[in-house]
Amino acid sequence: MSNSRLPLAMAILVMASSLAAQTYPTRPIRLLVPSTPGGSVDTIARTVGPRLAERWSQQVIVDNRPGAGGAIAGELVARAAPDGYTLLIGTVASLASNVSLQKRVPYDPAKDFSPVTLLATQNLMLLIHPSIPAKSVKELVALAKSKPGHLSFASAGTGAGGHLSGELFKMLAGIDMLHVPYKGVAPALVDVISGQVSMTFPSILSSLPHYRSNKLRGLAVTGAKRSAAVPELPTMQEAGLKGYESATWYGIVAPAQTPADVINTLNTELVAIIRQPEVRQRLSNEGADPVGSSAAEFGAHIRSEIEKWRKVIRAAGIEPS
Protein backbone atom coordinates (compact mmCIF):
# COMPACT_ATOMS: atom_id res chain seq x y z
CA MET A 1 0.00 0.00 0.00
CA SER A 2 1.39 3.43 -0.92
CA ASN A 3 1.97 6.06 1.74
CA SER A 4 -0.76 8.19 0.19
CA ARG A 5 -3.32 5.49 0.91
CA LEU A 6 -2.38 5.00 4.56
CA PRO A 7 -4.39 7.97 5.92
CA LEU A 8 -7.44 6.79 3.99
CA ALA A 9 -7.08 3.24 5.30
CA MET A 10 -6.74 4.49 8.87
CA ALA A 11 -9.79 6.69 8.48
CA ILE A 12 -11.83 3.74 7.21
CA LEU A 13 -10.75 1.64 10.21
CA VAL A 14 -11.68 4.40 12.64
CA MET A 15 -15.08 4.88 10.97
CA ALA A 16 -15.72 1.12 11.01
CA SER A 17 -14.84 0.90 14.70
CA SER A 18 -17.08 3.86 15.51
CA LEU A 19 -19.94 2.38 13.52
CA ALA A 20 -19.53 -0.96 15.30
CA ALA A 21 -19.79 0.74 18.68
CA GLN A 22 -22.87 2.71 17.59
CA THR A 23 -24.69 -0.39 16.35
CA TYR A 24 -23.48 -2.84 19.02
CA PRO A 25 -25.25 -5.00 19.99
CA THR A 26 -27.37 -6.13 17.05
CA ARG A 27 -27.85 -9.74 18.14
CA PRO A 28 -27.97 -11.81 21.37
CA ILE A 29 -24.96 -11.82 23.69
CA ARG A 30 -23.75 -15.00 25.37
CA LEU A 31 -22.44 -14.67 28.93
CA LEU A 32 -20.54 -17.80 29.96
CA VAL A 33 -20.48 -18.80 33.63
CA PRO A 34 -17.72 -21.20 34.79
CA SER A 35 -19.94 -22.95 37.35
CA THR A 36 -23.23 -24.75 37.80
CA PRO A 37 -26.48 -22.81 38.39
CA GLY A 38 -27.12 -21.60 41.92
CA GLY A 39 -23.70 -20.48 43.16
CA SER A 40 -22.51 -16.93 43.77
CA VAL A 41 -20.99 -16.42 40.32
CA ASP A 42 -24.18 -17.71 38.65
CA THR A 43 -26.32 -15.46 40.84
CA ILE A 44 -24.26 -12.40 39.87
CA ALA A 45 -24.47 -13.33 36.18
CA ARG A 46 -28.25 -13.69 36.43
CA THR A 47 -28.47 -10.37 38.26
CA VAL A 48 -26.47 -8.45 35.66
CA GLY A 49 -27.53 -10.28 32.48
CA PRO A 50 -31.27 -9.46 32.44
CA ARG A 51 -30.60 -5.80 33.24
CA LEU A 52 -28.11 -5.58 30.41
CA ALA A 53 -30.75 -7.10 28.15
CA GLU A 54 -33.32 -4.52 29.30
CA ARG A 55 -31.00 -1.60 28.64
CA TRP A 56 -30.19 -2.80 25.13
CA SER A 57 -33.47 -4.52 24.20
CA GLN A 58 -31.27 -7.42 23.20
CA GLN A 59 -31.19 -10.93 24.66
CA VAL A 60 -28.34 -11.86 27.03
CA ILE A 61 -28.03 -15.64 27.35
CA VAL A 62 -26.47 -16.92 30.57
CA ASP A 63 -24.62 -20.10 29.58
CA ASN A 64 -23.34 -22.31 32.42
CA ARG A 65 -20.19 -24.22 31.44
CA PRO A 66 -18.73 -25.72 34.63
CA GLY A 67 -15.64 -27.89 34.81
CA ALA A 68 -11.84 -27.85 34.94
CA GLY A 69 -11.81 -25.04 37.50
CA GLY A 70 -13.41 -22.64 35.01
CA ALA A 71 -11.10 -23.56 32.12
CA ILE A 72 -13.90 -24.93 29.92
CA ALA A 73 -15.83 -21.65 29.92
CA GLY A 74 -12.60 -19.64 29.74
CA GLU A 75 -11.33 -21.46 26.68
CA LEU A 76 -14.64 -21.03 24.83
CA VAL A 77 -14.46 -17.25 25.34
CA ALA A 78 -10.73 -16.98 24.62
CA ARG A 79 -11.29 -18.73 21.26
CA ALA A 80 -14.47 -16.82 20.38
CA ALA A 81 -14.67 -14.03 17.81
CA PRO A 82 -13.52 -10.72 19.36
CA ASP A 83 -16.75 -8.88 18.65
CA GLY A 84 -18.33 -8.45 22.09
CA TYR A 85 -20.98 -11.13 21.62
CA THR A 86 -19.28 -13.78 23.75
CA LEU A 87 -18.33 -12.79 27.31
CA LEU A 88 -17.06 -14.55 30.42
CA ILE A 89 -17.84 -13.78 34.03
CA GLY A 90 -14.47 -14.78 35.44
CA THR A 91 -13.33 -15.39 39.00
CA VAL A 92 -10.10 -15.39 40.97
CA ALA A 93 -9.79 -19.09 40.09
CA SER A 94 -10.44 -18.96 36.35
CA LEU A 95 -8.52 -15.72 35.77
CA ALA A 96 -5.70 -15.87 38.33
CA SER A 97 -4.86 -18.80 40.61
CA ASN A 98 -5.52 -21.67 38.20
CA VAL A 99 -2.53 -20.80 36.03
CA SER A 100 -0.36 -21.91 38.97
CA LEU A 101 -2.62 -24.71 40.24
CA GLN A 102 -3.14 -26.56 36.96
CA LYS A 103 -0.50 -28.06 34.68
CA ARG A 104 -2.35 -26.95 31.59
CA VAL A 105 -4.72 -24.01 31.35
CA PRO A 106 -5.80 -23.60 27.70
CA TYR A 107 -5.54 -19.82 27.75
CA ASP A 108 -3.43 -17.03 29.21
CA PRO A 109 -5.73 -14.87 31.35
CA ALA A 110 -3.43 -11.86 31.01
CA LYS A 111 -3.16 -12.08 27.20
CA ASP A 112 -6.18 -13.91 25.80
CA PHE A 113 -8.89 -11.63 27.21
CA SER A 114 -9.88 -7.98 27.06
CA PRO A 115 -10.92 -6.93 30.59
CA VAL A 116 -14.25 -5.11 30.83
CA THR A 117 -14.97 -4.48 34.53
CA LEU A 118 -14.54 -5.93 38.01
CA LEU A 119 -18.17 -6.34 39.08
CA ALA A 120 -17.83 -7.28 42.74
CA THR A 121 -15.63 -8.77 45.43
CA GLN A 122 -16.54 -11.05 48.31
CA ASN A 123 -14.66 -11.18 51.58
CA LEU A 124 -13.77 -14.41 53.32
CA MET A 125 -13.81 -14.50 57.12
CA LEU A 126 -11.28 -15.89 59.58
CA LEU A 127 -13.33 -18.07 61.93
CA ILE A 128 -11.83 -19.94 64.89
CA HIS A 129 -13.25 -22.43 67.38
CA PRO A 130 -14.23 -20.70 70.66
CA SER A 131 -11.82 -22.92 72.58
CA ILE A 132 -8.85 -21.27 70.87
CA PRO A 133 -7.54 -18.68 73.39
CA ALA A 134 -7.26 -15.79 70.93
CA LYS A 135 -9.56 -12.78 70.68
CA SER A 136 -7.66 -11.05 67.86
CA VAL A 137 -5.47 -11.83 64.86
CA LYS A 138 -2.38 -10.66 66.77
CA GLU A 139 -3.18 -13.04 69.64
CA LEU A 140 -3.75 -15.88 67.17
CA VAL A 141 -0.39 -15.25 65.48
CA ALA A 142 1.34 -15.15 68.86
CA LEU A 143 -0.31 -18.43 69.84
CA ALA A 144 0.69 -20.08 66.56
CA LYS A 145 4.30 -18.94 66.99
CA SER A 146 4.39 -20.32 70.53
CA LYS A 147 3.13 -23.73 69.34
CA PRO A 148 4.47 -24.37 65.79
CA GLY A 149 2.35 -26.90 63.91
CA HIS A 150 -0.18 -27.17 66.75
CA LEU A 151 -2.98 -25.16 65.09
CA SER A 152 -4.79 -26.32 61.97
CA PHE A 153 -7.05 -24.81 59.34
CA ALA A 154 -9.77 -26.43 57.23
CA SER A 155 -10.62 -25.65 53.61
CA ALA A 156 -12.96 -26.84 50.87
CA GLY A 157 -10.01 -28.55 49.17
CA THR A 158 -6.46 -28.06 47.98
CA GLY A 159 -6.21 -24.87 45.94
CA ALA A 160 -9.61 -23.58 47.05
CA GLY A 161 -9.97 -19.98 48.18
CA GLY A 162 -9.94 -20.90 51.85
CA HIS A 163 -6.77 -22.94 51.38
CA LEU A 164 -4.91 -20.15 49.60
CA SER A 165 -6.13 -17.62 52.18
CA GLY A 166 -4.73 -19.80 54.94
CA GLU A 167 -1.41 -20.22 53.13
CA LEU A 168 -1.17 -16.45 52.64
CA PHE A 169 -1.82 -16.06 56.38
CA LYS A 170 0.97 -18.52 57.18
CA MET A 171 3.39 -16.83 54.78
CA LEU A 172 2.83 -13.23 55.95
CA ALA A 173 2.58 -14.08 59.66
CA GLY A 174 5.58 -16.42 59.57
CA ILE A 175 3.72 -19.25 61.29
CA ASP A 176 3.34 -23.01 60.84
CA MET A 177 -0.16 -24.52 60.70
CA LEU A 178 -1.55 -27.80 59.39
CA HIS A 179 -3.84 -27.60 56.36
CA VAL A 180 -6.80 -30.03 56.47
CA PRO A 181 -8.57 -30.25 53.08
CA TYR A 182 -12.20 -31.35 52.75
CA LYS A 183 -14.53 -32.00 49.84
CA GLY A 184 -16.50 -28.80 50.23
CA VAL A 185 -17.14 -25.92 52.63
CA ALA A 186 -19.89 -27.66 54.64
CA PRO A 187 -17.82 -30.59 55.96
CA ALA A 188 -14.92 -28.25 56.69
CA LEU A 189 -17.19 -26.06 58.82
CA VAL A 190 -18.63 -29.09 60.63
CA ASP A 191 -15.19 -30.14 61.86
CA VAL A 192 -14.21 -26.62 62.91
CA ILE A 193 -17.48 -26.25 64.84
CA SER A 194 -16.84 -29.60 66.54
CA GLY A 195 -13.34 -28.47 67.50
CA GLN A 196 -11.47 -31.08 65.46
CA VAL A 197 -9.83 -28.27 63.43
CA SER A 198 -8.78 -24.89 64.83
CA MET A 199 -9.97 -22.47 62.17
CA THR A 200 -11.17 -21.88 58.63
CA PHE A 201 -11.53 -19.13 55.98
CA PRO A 202 -15.00 -19.52 54.38
CA SER A 203 -16.91 -16.90 52.42
CA ILE A 204 -18.93 -14.28 54.26
CA LEU A 205 -22.15 -15.97 53.15
CA SER A 206 -21.06 -19.35 54.54
CA SER A 207 -19.64 -17.77 57.69
CA LEU A 208 -22.51 -15.59 58.88
CA PRO A 209 -24.84 -18.25 60.40
CA HIS A 210 -22.04 -19.71 62.53
CA TYR A 211 -20.62 -16.30 63.46
CA ARG A 212 -24.01 -14.86 64.41
CA SER A 213 -24.88 -17.92 66.52
CA ASN A 214 -21.48 -17.73 68.28
CA LYS A 215 -20.64 -21.28 67.25
CA LEU A 216 -17.41 -19.84 65.85
CA ARG A 217 -15.49 -16.68 66.70
CA GLY A 218 -14.87 -14.22 63.87
CA LEU A 219 -11.56 -12.37 64.06
CA ALA A 220 -11.33 -10.53 60.73
CA VAL A 221 -12.36 -10.36 57.10
CA THR A 222 -9.80 -11.02 54.42
CA GLY A 223 -10.38 -8.32 51.79
CA ALA A 224 -8.98 -4.83 51.33
CA LYS A 225 -12.08 -3.24 52.89
CA ARG A 226 -14.47 -4.16 55.67
CA SER A 227 -17.60 -6.00 54.67
CA ALA A 228 -21.00 -4.31 54.87
CA ALA A 229 -22.35 -7.60 56.20
CA VAL A 230 -20.05 -7.53 59.27
CA PRO A 231 -18.77 -3.95 59.60
CA GLU A 232 -17.67 -4.62 63.17
CA LEU A 233 -14.90 -6.97 62.02
CA PRO A 234 -11.55 -5.46 60.94
CA THR A 235 -9.70 -6.44 57.81
CA MET A 236 -6.64 -8.63 58.30
CA GLN A 237 -4.49 -5.58 57.56
CA GLU A 238 -6.33 -3.47 60.14
CA ALA A 239 -5.83 -6.35 62.57
CA GLY A 240 -2.08 -6.06 62.15
CA LEU A 241 -1.16 -8.36 59.25
CA LYS A 242 0.45 -5.96 56.78
CA GLY A 243 -0.06 -6.73 53.10
CA TYR A 244 -2.79 -9.33 53.63
CA GLU A 245 -5.58 -9.29 51.06
CA SER A 246 -7.56 -12.27 49.84
CA ALA A 247 -11.01 -12.09 48.33
CA THR A 248 -13.21 -13.87 45.88
CA TRP A 249 -14.00 -11.64 42.92
CA TYR A 250 -16.14 -11.60 39.81
CA GLY A 251 -15.48 -9.69 36.60
CA ILE A 252 -16.42 -9.58 32.95
CA VAL A 253 -13.90 -10.22 30.17
CA ALA A 254 -14.20 -10.49 26.40
CA PRO A 255 -11.87 -12.18 23.91
CA ALA A 256 -8.58 -10.38 23.28
CA GLN A 257 -8.62 -7.85 20.44
CA THR A 258 -12.25 -6.93 21.03
CA PRO A 259 -12.56 -3.33 19.70
CA ALA A 260 -11.93 -0.67 22.33
CA ASP A 261 -15.23 1.06 21.53
CA VAL A 262 -17.14 -2.15 22.25
CA ILE A 263 -15.26 -2.63 25.53
CA ASN A 264 -16.03 0.97 26.50
CA THR A 265 -19.72 0.48 25.70
CA LEU A 266 -19.85 -2.70 27.76
CA ASN A 267 -18.03 -1.05 30.65
CA THR A 268 -20.34 1.96 30.69
CA GLU A 269 -23.47 -0.19 30.74
CA LEU A 270 -22.21 -2.69 33.32
CA VAL A 271 -20.93 -0.03 35.71
CA ALA A 272 -24.30 1.74 35.48
CA ILE A 273 -26.04 -1.54 36.34
CA ILE A 274 -23.73 -2.20 39.32
CA ARG A 275 -24.59 1.24 40.68
CA GLN A 276 -28.34 0.57 40.70
CA PRO A 277 -29.59 0.41 44.33
CA GLU A 278 -31.54 -2.82 43.79
CA VAL A 279 -28.50 -4.51 42.24
CA ARG A 280 -26.24 -3.36 45.07
CA GLN A 281 -28.75 -4.73 47.57
CA ARG A 282 -28.98 -8.09 45.84
CA LEU A 283 -25.20 -8.41 45.70
CA SER A 284 -25.01 -7.44 49.37
CA ASN A 285 -27.51 -10.20 50.16
CA GLU A 286 -25.02 -12.59 48.55
CA GLY A 287 -22.25 -11.25 50.78
CA ALA A 288 -20.65 -9.44 47.84
CA ASP A 289 -19.42 -5.85 47.69
CA PRO A 290 -20.17 -4.05 44.38
CA VAL A 291 -17.20 -2.47 42.55
CA GLY A 292 -17.70 -1.49 38.89
CA SER A 293 -14.11 -0.67 37.87
CA SER A 294 -12.66 0.67 34.65
CA ALA A 295 -11.34 -1.85 32.12
CA ALA A 296 -7.75 -0.75 32.79
CA GLU A 297 -8.18 -1.15 36.55
CA PHE A 298 -9.57 -4.65 36.11
CA GLY A 299 -6.69 -5.61 33.82
CA ALA A 300 -4.17 -4.44 36.43
CA HIS A 301 -6.08 -6.37 39.10
CA ILE A 302 -5.93 -9.61 37.10
CA ARG A 303 -2.17 -9.29 36.55
CA SER A 304 -1.57 -8.50 40.23
CA GLU A 305 -3.66 -11.47 41.39
CA ILE A 306 -1.87 -13.89 39.03
CA GLU A 307 1.50 -12.89 40.48
CA LYS A 308 0.34 -12.85 44.11
CA TRP A 309 -1.16 -16.33 44.05
CA ARG A 310 1.79 -17.70 42.07
CA LYS A 311 4.07 -16.68 44.95
CA VAL A 312 1.74 -18.12 47.60
CA ILE A 313 1.28 -21.43 45.75
CA ARG A 314 5.02 -21.84 45.27
CA ALA A 315 5.77 -20.92 48.91
CA ALA A 316 3.19 -23.47 50.08
CA GLY A 317 4.69 -26.18 47.89
CA ILE A 318 1.38 -26.88 46.13
CA GLU A 319 2.11 -28.98 43.05
CA PRO A 320 0.06 -28.28 39.89
CA SER A 321 -2.38 -31.05 39.11
**For 3-123+247-316, CATH number?**
3.40.190.150
Least reliable range by pLDDT among 18-27, 75-84, 217-226 = 18-27
Residue 5 has pLDDT above 80, yes or no: no
Q: Where are the alpha helices (DSSP H) in 174-243?
A: 185-193, 204-212
Q: Which of the following CATH numbers is that of domain 125-221: 1.10.3720.10, 3.40.50.720, 3.40.190.10, 3.60.21.10?
A: 3.40.190.10
pLDDT in tens, 186-241: 999 999 999 999 999 999 988 999 999 999 999 999 999 999 889 999 999 999 99
> Where are the chain's structural domains?
3-123+247-316, 125-221
pLDDT grade for 17, boundaries at 50, 70 and 90: very low
Which residue type, as a one-letter code, is found at position 197? V
Q: Under a CB-based contact definition with an 8 Å cutoff, are residues 257 and 79 in contact?
A: no
Residue 1 has pLDDT above 70, yes or no: no
Q: Kindly state the percentage of the chain with pLDDT values over 90.
A: 85
Burial of 214 (0-12, 13-18, 19+ CB in 10 A): exposed
Residue 205's pLDDT is 86
Q: 125-221: same fold as 3-123+247-316? A: yes
